[in-house]
Amino acid sequence: MIEKLLLTIVILRTAWQIFLEVLNLLYSTNPKSRIPDMLKDRFTPEVIEKSRSYLKDRTRLKVVSQIVQMFATIYLVLHGLPLLERLFMVYSPLLQAFLFFGALGLILYAVNLPFRLYSIFVIESNYGFNTATKRTFLRDQILTVSLIVAFSMVLIPLLLWLLSHPVWWWQASILVFGFILFFWFIQPLLIAPLFYKFTELEDEELKKKIREFIKKASVKILKIYKVNASKRTKKQNAYVTGIGRSRRLVLYDTLMDYPQDELLAVVGHELGHHVKKHIQKDVLLFSIYAMFQLYLTNFLYRQILKSGAFNVQRPHTIFVYSLLFVSAIAYLLQPLVNYFSRRMEYEADEFSAKLTNTPTSMISALKRLVKANLSNPDPHPLYKVWYYSHPAPGERIKALSRSIRSES
């Protein structure tokens, strides 16, 4: 019964994912699809055609990858996970867990790698975004796997200790909260520099104006960095990261050609996230979300343990089955999580407009970003609700335009 339920949930989730992808593609590439009026000055017919072609290519890849992942999950549920458990049964419990998760990680990595390669070196390259060499990609993969292994050396023994208790979800929730804070602190100091080169902003005039912005926003940021994102992509971004003494403002070097007023508007948006305490709200929201998932995982873990479902015995194997259940169920909460995220983005846009004394620069920067990144100007409403952590470009510009009219 439990086996059939899990397989049904996995299949239904994949079917829904594919439905949303196809729905969004048909809606956005329909010749009658309307480009928002506020984007028409940047979205020429050539840009529209290129944006739609980019969406088609990415959607096709997503659908194929979702189907492959579904079949891989079904195989693991029916055969793969019990086989891995039996394969390592002769070793000590801790070594069993290390080998089990290592083998499972390799399988999942092998399933996803072809799609990642195709996305970067075919699709992103075809549209002029990718600048990463195969050597850079290989180095990134080695670093990523090394970090996962390093963290696993601590997390797997911790997991086995938690699973030895009848009720462990609340202890795990506390540990997850602590890990989030720890990761937020060390990520800009130790992890990000492994992948990117960070240098202090050389443009003294720009740095001075950003410092004035930071002071005006009453945000404590110690450093302003430029990152060599152009080594991997031509896409553009900026962000504030870290907590406490690790907090810093980071600008992609691909943003440096922006007019200064637009770049400052983008900086104002990122500062808005901190002034509005969005980082703290994100941590709180994620912690509650994780607590809910861990509670469900603990409940399902006990049910599988009692029923003897899936013909497995080891705690780490039962945990993975429980996690598969919960990840499929938690997918239903994605629209709620993204709803709160979109609200925060609107607040950050509004803050930027007030900080720069006009929404015009932020509107112009958004238009430039949308065109440069070939963003979908008109996604399907249901797709937006389910997947968009940021409001659609037209909606953000419309909200900023309303603030112009309210000021006049």
Average pLDDT over residues 183-194: 92
Average pLDDT over residues 133-141: 96
Quick check: 32 pLDDT over 80? no
CA geometry: angle at 142 spanning 61 and 245, to 5°?
100
Give residue 307's pLDDT: 86
Q: Which two tokens stand for residue 331?
A: 């997918």
Average pLDDT over residues 125-130: 94
Give residue 206's pLDDT: 87
Give residue 209's pLDDT: 87
Give residue 127's pLDDT: 95
The residue type at 349: D
Q: Which two tokens stand for residue 315?
A: 């705690």
Average pLDDT over residues 343-355: 92
Average pLDDT score, the chain = 91
Cα 262 from Cα 166, distance rounded (Å): 55
Instruction: Provide CB contacts within 8 A for 12, sequence distance 6+.
Output: none
Average pLDDT over residues 191-219: 88
Chain CA centroid to CA 175, Å: 21
CB 227 within 8 A of CB 251: yes
Q: Using one digit for the tens of pLDDT, what is the confidence trace for 305-334?
A: 888 888 899 999 999 999 998 988 889 999
Cα 306 from Cα 301, distance rounded (Å): 9
Average pLDDT over residues 141-158: 95
Cα 195 from Cα 141, distance rounded (Å): 10
CB 222 within 8 A of CB 248: yes
Q: Quickly list H helices, 30-92.
A: 45-75, 81-87
Give residue 279's pLDDT: 85
Q: Which two tokens stand for residue 20?
A: 């949303």
Give residue 390's pLDDT: 92
Confidence of residue 215 (pLDDT cuts 50, 70, 90): confident
Q: How many Cβ atoms from other residues are within 10 Å of residue 51's Cβ?
A: 23
Quick check: 167 pLDDT over 80? yes
Cα 338 from Cα 383, distance rounded (Å): 11
Average pLDDT over residues 190-195: 94
Give residue 172's pLDDT: 92
Confidence of residue 406 (pLDDT cuts 50, 70, 90): low
**Reported pTM:** 0.90
By CB atoms closer than 10 A (0-12, 13-18, 19+), residue 207 is middle
Instruction: Provide CB contacts within 8 A for 253, sequence distance 6+.
Output: 226, 227, 228, 229, 230
Quick check: 405 pLDDT over 70? no
Cα 246 from Cα 188, distance rounded (Å): 7
Cα 28 from Cα 303, distance rounded (Å): 44
Average pLDDT over residues 279-296: 89
Confidence of residue 236 (pLDDT cuts 50, 70, 90): confident
Cα 19 from Cα 12, distance rounded (Å): 10
CB 398 within 8 A of CB 38: yes
Q: How many Cβ atoms from other residues are within 10 Å of residue 255's Cβ?
A: 21
Q: Which two tokens stand for residue 22?
A: 């196809």
Please tell me the number of Cα atoms within 13 Å of 335 on its side-chain side.
Answer: 9
CA quadruple 288, 290, 295, 300: dihedral, nearest 10: 150
Quick check: 264 pLDDT over 60? yes
Q: Using one digit for the tens of pLDDT, what is the confidence trace for 379-399?
A: 999 999 999 999 998 889 888
Cα 175 from Cα 115, distance rounded (Å): 33
Q: Using one digit for the tens of pLDDT, what is the confidence trace for 59-80?
A: 999 999 999 999 999 999 999 9
Question: Which has more confidence, 31 or 347?
Answer: 347
Give residue 339's pLDDT: 95
Average pLDDT over residues 41-53: 88
Strands (E) located in 243-322: 248-252
CA dist 28 → 32, 339, 376, 379, 380 (Å): 9, 21, 7, 6, 7
Give residue 201's pLDDT: 86
Confidence of residue 403 (pLDDT cuts 50, 70, 90): low
Q: How many Cβ atoms from other residues are within 10 Å of residue 64's Cβ?
A: 14
Quick check: 404 pLDDT over 90? no
CA dist 351 → 239, 347, 398 (Å): 15, 6, 15
What percent of the chain has a predicted confidence (pLDDT) above 90? 59
Question: Which has more confidence, 286 or 137?
Answer: 137
CA dist 378 → 132, 344, 353, 386 (Å): 29, 21, 24, 15
Q: Which two tokens stand for residue 243?
A: 């907590």
Give residue 82's pLDDT: 96
Q: Which residues pair with 248 in a beta bridge?
A: 223, 241
